[in-house]
Amino acid sequence: MRRVIVALGDSTTAGTPLYLSPLESPPDGRGDVRSQFAWWLMRMRPDWRVLNRGVNGERSDQIAARFDRDVLTERPDAVTIIAGVNDVYQGRGAGSVIDVLGDLYERAGRAGIPVVAGSIVPYNTATTAANQAMQEVNAWIKAEADRKSHVTFVDTRAAAAAGDNPDLLSGSPDGLHPDVEGYRRMAEALATALARILGPAG
């Protein structure tokens, strides 16, 4: 039986800019399928069915508003959550992102759904203040995962970032989003955590 994973998030879950998720281009999505970590996860683990529920440009509160529809109705074995970059991009503080993420983790926990909590991925035009806000959120995510048994932290920022600078993408078509290789590296990092939660291939 294939295990179901919902990938909930914004552009870096959707696969922007080379791919439109199924929510953005119903019913099956459109573009270069390699430009999304969901595709790479299923390539790595054919026994997983990963539902791409990313939407480009959404803030954490907009993502949270879709939680019941896009996560709970699917009854997944796990959910990946990456959110907050658009809040920061729009000038919102780290505290508002932390509040929303905390609520999302709690809602998943009450439903018995393990959470793989990814860190906010960098973008190349971020200001010093924006990078500080993202790092604050990411540090909180890691600490929250240490506190909550149903939450597992994955440093997707490090996976997509340049090796010599955690605030720059290792490669990008537009300076704002990972390239195909970046999405593949994100999938590798996420796959390790998901395999611990879901077990070996059957």
* CATH number where 80 lies: 3.40.50.1110
Which residues of the chain are modeled with pLDDT < 70?
202
The H helix count followed by the E strand count for the chain is 9, 9
pLDDT on residue 86: 98
User: What percent of the residues of the chain are helix, what percent strand, and what percent coil, each to the nearest 5?
Assistant: 45, 20, 35
pLDDT value at position 202? 61
Instruction: Check residue 139 and give its pLDDT.
Output: 98
Q: Could you tell me if 73 and 28 are in contact, meaning their C-beta atoms sit under 8 angstroms apart?
A: no
Contact present, 186 and 121 (Cβ < 8 Å)? yes
- pTM of the model as a whole: 0.96
Q: Write phi, then psi, for 193 (nearest 5 degrees).
A: -70, -45
- Side-chain half-sphere CA neighbours of 130 within 13 A: 18
Could you tell me what percent of the chain has a pLDDT over 70? 100
Q: pLDDT value at position 179?
A: 98
Question: 121: which strand partners?
Answer: none
Q: Give the pLDDT of residue 1.
A: 76
User: What is the full DSSP assignment across 133-189?
Assistant: HHHHHHHHHHHHHHH-TTEEEE-HHHHHEETTEEEEESS-SSSSS--HHHHHHHHHH
Domains in the chain: how many in total? 1
Domain of 180?
3-198
pLDDT in tens, 6-41: 999 999 999 999 999 999 999 999 999 999 999 999
- At 146, list the tokens: 């240490």
